[in-house]
Structure 1
């Protein structure tokens, strides 16, 4: 039966599943395992040499070969231990680096709906925190667990050979210790899982506050965010305290059991030496072998604690790796036919997929090829949703979007998005240089001359040239070192450089002053020539000359035509036009 989140088990199944997503250096791992076994073998030989050494010393007949063998065993043990530790650490780091790469690739492949439902800190925590837990198990615990088992089996076997009666005491005590470890392990699993969830929430909260620190300070919300952060930190502390409590019970208990065994062994062994049943060397060797059982056995507590943490972390990692991705199949080629218009054919869409009405309600309209289509309507009518569907951030629940007579879902996602240039109101920029932001997303090498030409067309070259480092100027996180108008012009330059077939403009000049807007409008007019252009318009003055204006009201198309046609026939459009143009007297 498959284990659920309520059944912690030992977690090995999840670790094996994760192995599929890791880069596994088999040869290096095998060599490291051999060295670990060599180290274990050398450690098992040392007590036997020690026994001979003690017995011969007592007989006053020390042989140099015994000392040489003992020194050799110590050297082999030290060298093999150091090399195996380095190699296993390398293997663990390499495996987790591969897993993190796969997770990052997965995050970038997830549909936008995932990010609508999950805060940005969630996947970040998976990639950083959860993988670190897995790495700690691989590099510090996993191999030592198996070598410790070999060490215990070897030591117990030799102990039975030396004195089966004393060995039987150890064998009888062990099951009682395991009965205590199992319930504590289950509790540790539940605690560690909640700890990782709380860590993810804390990471998400901190990321959000830091990324919006200007809003926090402008709103005098430092006290509120301080309180929220401290609450999260205290919750994390509470789970950490519970984890420490379990460990505080588990580790001393294991030590107590083993120390009790040691006392019994030494007392009973001393009696058997006195009676002549054992030699002094046998007792010394027996005690050394008991230590080789006690130390690994005490490490099992730490191993099972870490294993329960990995169990919870691996569940979340596997869940993420199994999430559905954006469809990036190699679809049909983008058509080069004469007709490349876009048709929304009875499209219905709701963001959660369950609303009866949805954001868009059975809309049908055509965006003619190489024409300018403007979309107007009240806030919340679905204008931005149309752009999201065109970008294939989402898929409609009903209906189809056609391009050149073919569904856009049939095209390769990468090839389709290469056809689109998108300039939004927010003008998002990434931390980096101005040049990197203008060329962002282009896989080809772009000469500085091309970047400058695109910037000139977007009326951005002049202000960029005046900056101390020009196109190599750092824009800061989210472009905060630049003004809103400057960010907008860089975003327009980025769209110009892509040379797209389809332009999506979400009021692209909204952040510009009058002089800059005039220049950029001229640049956009040149860019829109012979391209299919869709404009979301909030200011009707910017789309009066559009070839077609679509009026959206509450997710329905209620009108389509030119400015003059809609002004004459559509009451909502006429009302909007009068409100916006009444001061200038420029409406028809």
Structure 2
């Protein structure tokens, strides 16, 4: 917040002081209005010389108060709007940060549109409620207290009548107003109340009623945003993997295949700690990965390449650098060359500064995949997970991307999940999953000789392709 929004002495925001000042001036208006009426009434009793001189002073006071009230009201509303935007921005940033920390089960259970709505519509609803509660609540409370004091000083008897009328309905209040005028007229006849004081009392009483009505409305409002559940388990009674045991040999390629729903992608998600196992343990070099920092595990140890790579609406350079935020340009170039991406990137007029559009809309599927490979290789991971990395590509793009993957896999432990069985024939170990269990494991030649599920999957896919 810029300095003019704050008290130079305390450094606190000026919005409450401005709102308080506007409310106190609003309390003063009925008194000044009553003084003006008294002057007019006195002049009406008989010929008065210098009428304008008599009226000028209270009229100027009233006009000055109106102008000051308008300026203060404008000031505190403007500042309050700025504060509301800052609070909403901070909440939106905190909420988005919290969303990024959620596990995959959370996103399985909540639709993307619902989460986006939380970040936009719900924050907007809070901002509106915040501004209304602060502006109306502070002003109405101050006006109510100040007007009650003014009313009591003007006429204790009429104040008692007003207090009895406050809980009543609008119809009854209209009757009370007439009663107030009648009683006030009687007091005027007995010289207990001047015409101006009666006018001041009526205006102040209306201010009290409006202020109390605003407070009642504020107290009766409830948040419309639904509360978030405290946990996000999906299918808690369903076990995806059963009696599952698998060892990934260092610097070897292990491929996992099987029918859809067999648990292939779940294995990758468990390694990345997107999910936590309900039973058993997962170890990395003998250490339980549940004791390892997920940010270190995903940021330095494991590189993950999925079927649909996620690209952001920024430059190619920045999209690759997301894999290692502190990487130099030379490191980005080296990773792109290893991923077979440097050639097509430099063919663009702006090269690495080309903006790819939201989700990489300016690139082809093969180009997006190679940028994702470069991003994964930038951090030089010891483990590389390829989850259906080429299944959505055409034959030509698949060939180029597969060459990049083969180069990336050299000297690394690779977990390969594939639908096209022809891409994993050269894996050091092929694991066939069925209904969450390891049905068979071995090399391509060994599994073909056994004539089991692997051989059946090959026959079925060959028949579909022919």
| Range class of TM-score, shorter chain | 0.7 to 0.9
Matches of 1:136 and 1:540, distance apart in 2:
56
> Residue 335 of structure 2 aligns to a residue in which SS?
helix
1:174 counterpart residue number = 166
The answer as to whether partners of 2:336 and 2:371 remain within 8 angstroms in 1 is: yes
Kindly indicate whether residue 88 of structure 2 is the aligned counterpart of residue 96 of structure 1.
Answer: yes
TM-score by length of 2: 0.85
Q: 1:125 to 1:511 in 2, by over 3 A?
A: closer
The answer as to whether partners of 1:93 and 1:139 remain within 8 angstroms in 2 is: no
Counterparts of 1:107-256 in structure 2, within 5 Å, are 107-177=99-169, 253=170
Question: Once the 2 structures are TM-superposed, how far is the Cα of residue 385 of structure 1 from its aligned partner?
Answer: 1.0
Question: Once the 2 structures are TM-superposed, how far is the Cα of residue 108 of structure 1 from its aligned partner?
Answer: 1.4
Matches of 1:47 and 1:519, distance apart in 2:
82
Question: Once the 2 structures are TM-superposed, how far is the Cα of residue 148 of structure 1 from its aligned partner?
Answer: 1.5
TM-score by length of 1: 0.68
The answer as to whether partners of 2:366 and 2:398 remain within 8 angstroms in 1 is: no
Question: Once the 2 structures are TM-superposed, how far is the Cα of residue 531 of structure 1 from its aligned partner?
Answer: 0.9
User: Which of 285, 288, 296 is residue 415 of structure 1 equivalent to?
Assistant: 296
Q: 1:155 to 1:509 in 2, by over 3 A?
A: closer
1:299 counterpart residue number = 214
The answer as to whether partners of 2:77 and 2:135 remain within 8 angstroms in 1 is: no
1:263 counterpart residue number = 178
Q: Deviations over 1:560-584 (max 9, x none)?
A: 2222222223522233345557999
Question: Once the 2 structures are TM-superposed, how far is the Cα of residue 363 of structure 1 from its aligned partner?
Answer: 0.5
Matches of 2:357 and 2:434, distance apart in 1:
39
The answer as to whether partners of 1:368 and 1:532 remain within 8 angstroms in 2 is: yes
1:289 counterpart residue number = 204
2:314 counterpart residue number = 432
> Residue 559 of structure 1 aligns to a residue in which SS?
strand
2:3 counterpart residue number = none
Structure number with greater Rg is: 2
Counterparts of 1:189-588 in structure 2, within 5 Å, are 253=170, 258-300=173-215, 302-304=217-219, 307-308=221-222, 310=223, 312-313=224-225, 316=227, 319=228, 323=230, 352-355=235-238, 358-418=239-299, 419-447=301-329, 449-514=330-395, 516-569=397-450, 571-578=452-459
The answer as to whether partners of 1:28 and 1:87 remain within 8 angstroms in 2 is: no
1:10 counterpart residue number = none
Matches of 2:114 and 2:155, distance apart in 1:
57
Matches of 1:100 and 1:515, distance apart in 2:
43
The answer as to whether partners of 1:55 and 1:281 remain within 8 angstroms in 2 is: yes
Matches of 1:70 and 1:31, distance apart in 2:
25
Q: 1:110 to 1:494 in 2, by over 3 A?
A: same
Matches of 2:175 and 2:82, distance apart in 1:
38
Q: 1:541 to 1:81 in 2, by over 3 A?
A: closer
Matches of 1:143 and 1:515, distance apart in 2:
64
Task: Flag structure 1 segments of 5+ consecutive residues without an equivalent.
Answer: 1-24, 178-252, 326-349
Matches of 2:111 and 2:76, distance apart in 1:
41
Matches of 2:438 and 2:125, distance apart in 1:
53
Q: 1:576 to 1:324 in 2, by over 3 A?
A: closer
> Residue 542 of structure 1 aligns to a residue in which SS?
helix
RMSD: 3.1
Matches of 1:500 and 1:39, distance apart in 2:
63
Q: Deviations over 1:459-488 (max 9, x none)?
A: 333333344444344434433343322322
The answer as to whether partners of 1:488 and 1:512 remain within 8 angstroms in 2 is: no
Q: 1:260 to 1:136 in 2, by over 3 A?
A: farther
